[in-house]
Each structure stands twice: as structure tokens, then as C-alpha cells.
Amino acid sequence: MERTATGTFTGEKEFFTTPIGETHEFKEGSGPYEYLMGALTGCFYYTLADFERKGTWGEITITARGVKRTTSPTTLEHTSLEIVAKNISDKEEFEHLVKKTSQSCSIFQTISKVSEMDIVIRFEDDEE
């Protein structure tokens, strides 16, 4: 399945547009690597959620952080995912599915070709 984004760069604006017409600006703090980290979190979550499971999940928050090399090419040197999982009924199953996801998520696997990858899971439960 082909995916497309069109970048436009003028003296005043720098942005890309998706096929459905959404525009995403490149600016300080919202550049190509922030979009890559966002794409990684989305890909990881949707891959994770696609697996069959018995347990129930509350809220899942995934934070991706990447450190670029200082030498050319400045690819990512280290990438980490911090997953905060709230109200997970089967924590062991969740951990297994996260491991499975790291092996199946296409963007995770693409980045892993140039970067050391770490995943940390933190479980939080609502107190009733």
C-alpha cells in the first residue's frame, strides 16, 4: 500500500500535506524528527491494538524519544519508547504483546536498522 505526503517549501512556509488535505507545518520543535517520533508512536499503538487479546486496557500513552548522531549521516543513534499503560487487566499478556509489536511494527523495525531501541513499560492503575 502506497503512502504519500507532499512537502512544500517557500520563503514563508514549510509544510507537508497528506492525501486527505491535512497540512502539517515544519517549525521549531515540530520538524521532521518530531513527525517521525509521532509516526512511530502511532504505528506502534495500532500494531499493538491489532493483536488479539483477552485482557482489557484503559489508556495507553506512548512517548518516543530519539537521539541523533552528531556525525554524518545524522541518523538516530538511540530511540526509546516509554509506554504508560493504565488499568491493564492482564499485565503479563500486555508485556508479551508489546514484545510481539516490537517485532511486527514496520516503523519500529525501520528505525531499528540504524538505531539502538529500548522499550520501558510502566503500569498505572486507578485507585478506586
pLDDT for 21 beyond 80: yes
pLDDT at residue 127 in the model: 61
Q: How many residues does the chain have?
A: 128
What are the tens digits of pLDDT across the range 99-108?
999 999 999 9
CB atoms closer than 10 angstroms to residue 44: 24
pLDDT in tens, 24-78: 999 988 999 999 999 999 999 999 999 999 999 999 999 999 999 999 999 999 9
For residues 117-128, give the mean pLDDT: 87
CB under 8 A, 24+ apart: contacts of 87-90 = 87/56, 87/57, 87/58, 87/59, 87/124, 87/125, 87/126, 88/55, 88/56, 88/57, 88/58, 88/123, 88/125, 89/55, 89/56, 89/57, 90/53, 90/54, 90/55
pTM equals: 0.92
Higher pLDDT, 50 or 128: 50
Sequence-distant (6+) residues with CB within 8 A of 83 are 60, 61, 62, 98, 119, 120, 121, 122
Q: How confident is the model at residue 109 (pLDDT cuts 50, 70, 90)?
A: very high
What one-character DSSP code corresponds to residue 30?
B
